[in-house]
A and B are shown apart, each in its own frame.
Chain A
């Protein structure tokens, strides 16, 4: 598949602090790519290098097969960016900013602009200083979503939006994807990521620790199993990949590495399954696993 973003071995230092420590990231055309990581992991730094605002110290960064530092302006005509913290000029109205950013990007779709303003319930005649955080965010979102571009780079775009507006945002991102657009979405709203993203990269301390489809990532973690059996089960504890086993007469609860799920269910089946619930890990569990202290940076996640 055609690559839109290709980053390999990216290093960025600020003085003695290493912000990015050999980061890899690949986003193909047409996908919505979730970009996750704890605060300070280097998400915004990566995005700002991708936009040519920061100079990479080492590594390869390709954006639309171009060099984002050298060809910044030309490449930017093909993307729209929503920063995590939107700062507006206090004396310009939201409408003026939307039009300015749109023009600098090479034009706005007037019809979509109107629709976006209505759907986001944004008053474009107010001055920048009088907008709340959520409304400033909306100004940047409308400016980005009303542009005709191939790629959306969104850095925590819904921070400050209410749930209704979040739903509006998700609808527009889906519409954008359905028309063949590509999205890089950095977010802490996991429900949003689960709903929108085809693939996810999790970074930590400046490195990518996990990347793949949600299904693939789930595969690397444990499924939680809850069952009621006809007779007490034996030998479950000896099976590979079974953890936190909790036997209570004929009730059994345990976690199992998703790779070993088949063997565990077979063992249960031999004892006669009454009821069975198997819960795949939520993104949140996946997340906590990578964010937790035991998962040291770059260390392979125990399967």
Chain B
């Protein structure tokens, strides 16, 4: 057994060195997710009576319960933090675990680097053990961050610690299931798909269970985490379930690994067509990105449905205090309209995730050495880039539109009022302009300094911070104006204005064109 693990320590140190900034970023993000709930709840309700009233409404909103979890002690800060953050914290911990485990196991195998490592003095189980330990350490970091930040608020010590410990255990469990997924398919992409599916199903089971009689929640690790009842009668025994789940999933992954060849998966790869139907650069770009377009589209539609299904209850749900009005109400409109205006903007912000990753696809194509052979044909390099731009633009319009449609349909389902579907769809579509501005920033960076192209994600982070926290932190106007999302009329709270929409489109086109020009002039690697 010992020799199977030879070299684990060395690999672990190497991984931690490679991942240190990424781990820190995840820890900060997840800690903020929990801590910011405490901050926002404390600022939202001026009196306990306000708080009690809001809690009562939230408790009875099925959509909220489906999204967040069982409603317990919602009239306390601790209860709110647990409710608002636990499920999403689990998703983030799961995603982090999945990426960490995948990056050091299947991705390495797929790229052929794993083979090189294994030819050294390295035990059979060392690479996957090192990957697992990195993920476990990452989850400990998340747990410590969450517990420490809540302790500093200060919230009840035992419950604060429980919320962190539960999160860590949940992350360990998802590290185990991700490690199983990595053994199953030979492609990292499909393995990520499987591991993501596990997280998604866990969330879904929990949502259905929490809305129904609660049985299904017991099939989900997220349900076990929430069953610890932090800040509402803490109990520790569900943590044992999480721990047992981690042990079982991890053990399974080792057993499966021992039954497969290195580099191969358990599920065999299916053959594809022997003749190609891809026509030109556009066909190829669409083929490469269609999975992502459809995935984001469906995701945004579902998120939209969730927002929309809050119906007209938003007023009682988010309270009617001064700070709420500040956050949601734009220029004397109603709270409902204000809320949906903000929801549309949030959807558009999520859509930036698609747009920027789509714009950066050209970068990974180039880095992976797949552009050279293409550009050595009759394909002009500007046409190659333009094909990817077309997919980004069309995909953005489609996904943001599906999000808007989701909100409208969700609202119509709950209230029976279908008159909002059309206007909100149009409003969502108008958000394609600021989204595309950020995609164009990515394009320009790619054209000018491809090495730094991923800095475009910073533009997304900045816009998100402005949208969510500008009011709370009283950002100066010039800083807010730097975000492309700050300029569009907040439909339906305000009337649509063509001016800013057209201006944003012009900016997007100009930046993208500049990126094209720069790309035409530079070396392709």
Contacts and interface: CB of A to CB of B under 8 A. Distances in A.
Nearest to A82: B373
Interface stretch (B128-136, B160-168, B270-278): B270-278
B379 A129 contact: no
Interface of A: 48, 51-55, 72-74, 76-77, 79-81, 83, 85-93, 95-101, 103-106, 123-127, 129-130, 140, 153
Q: Pick the 8 closest A-B CB pairs, nearest first.
A: A99-B276, A96-B276, A81-B376, A104-B377, A93-B272, A73-B380, A87-B369, A125-B271
B374 A55 contact: no
B110 A99 contact: no
A67 to B, nearest CB: 14
A72 B384 CA distance: 13
27 contacts: A53-B375, A53-B524, A54-B523, A54-B524, A55-B523, A72-B375, A72-B381, A73-B378, A76-B378, A81-B377, A83-B372, A83-B376, A88-B370, A90-B110, A92-B276, A92-B278, A95-B273, A96-B273, A99-B278, A100-B283, A104-B280, A104-B281, A106-B378, A124-B274, A124-B275, A126-B269, A129-B110
B405 interface: no
A103 B280 contact: yes
Interface in B347-406: 368-370, 372-381, 383
A92 B277 CA distance: 11
Given A76-B378, A89-B288, A48 B187 contact: no
A93 B281 CA distance: 16
Interface string B166-195: 000000000000000000001101000000
B17 interface: no
Interface string B77-91: 000000000000000
Given A100-B276, A104-B280, 17 more contacts: A48-B372, A48-B524, A51-B372, A51-B376, A55-B523, A73-B381, A76-B376, A76-B377, A83-B373, A87-B369, A87-B373, A89-B370, A92-B276, A92-B278, A97-B276, A124-B275, A129-B269
B378 A105 contact: yes
Contact of B379 (A89, A104, A126): A104
B216 interface: no
A125 B377 CA distance: 23
Contacts of B524: 48, 53-54
Contacts of A55: 521-523
Given A96-B278, A99-B278, A104 B374 contact: yes
A100 B374 CA distance: 9
B279 interface: yes
A99 B274 CA distance: 9
Nearest to A99: B276
B380 A130 contact: no
A95 B375 CA distance: 19
Contact of B272 (A54, A81, A126): A126
A53 B372 contact: yes
Given A54-B524, A87-B370, A104-B281, A95 B378 contact: no
A231 B385 CA distance: 77
A93 B273 contact: yes
Contacts of B187: 90-91, 129
B450 to A, nearest CB: 13
Contacts of B235: none
B284 interface: yes
Contacts of B279: 103
A72 B372 contact: no
B46 interface: no
B20 interface: no
A130 B276 contact: no
Sorting the interface of chain B by its residue count into under 10, 10 to 19, 20 to 34 or 35 or more gives 35 or more
A38 B50 CA distance: 78
Nearest to A85: B369
Nearest to B378: A77
A148 to B, nearest CB: 12
Contacts of B375: 51-53, 72, 76
A86 B373 contact: yes
A54 B275 CA distance: 32
B113 interface: no
Nearest to B278: A100
A97 B522 CA distance: 26
B194 to A, nearest CB: 15
B13 interface: no
Q: Which of B273, B279, B281, B368 has the most CB of A within 10 A?
A: B273
B420 interface: no
B451 interface: no
B384 to A, nearest CB: 9
Contacts of A80: 376
Given A93-B272, A125-B271, A130-B269, A153 B378 contact: no
Contacts of B270: 127
B287 interface: yes
A98 B276 contact: yes
Contacts of A106: 378
Contacts of B189: 90-91
Nearest to A79: B376
B224 to A, nearest CB: 36
A298 B365 CA distance: 37
A130 B190 CA distance: 14
B377 A101 contact: yes
A104 to B, nearest CB: 4
Contacts of B376: 51, 53, 76, 79-81, 83, 153
A106 B110 CA distance: 33
Given A54-B524, A129-B110, A93 B380 contact: no
Contacts of A98: 276
Interface string B245-287: 0000000000000000000000001111111111111011001
Q: Which of B110, B272, B273, B287 has the most CB of A within 10 A?
A: B272
A264 B110 CA distance: 61
Contacts of A74: 378
A107 B229 CA distance: 66
Contacts of A125: 271-274
Nearest to A53: B524
Given A54-B524, A101-B373, A72 B276 contact: no
A92 B274 contact: no
Contacts of A79: 376
B271 A87 contact: no
B377 A105 contact: yes
Contacts of B370: 87-89
A21 B524 CA distance: 20
A105 B275 CA distance: 16
Contacts of A91: 187, 189, 288
Contacts of A73: 378-381, 383
A51 B490 CA distance: 50
A95 B523 contact: no
Interface string B103-116: 00000001000000
Contacts of B369: 83, 85, 87
Given A103-B280, A130-B186, A96 B377 contact: no
Contacts of B287: 92
Nearest to B371: A53
A89 B284 CA distance: 10
Contacts of B368: 87
Given A87-B368, A87-B369, A93 B377 contact: no
Contacts of B283: 100
A256 to B, nearest CB: 45
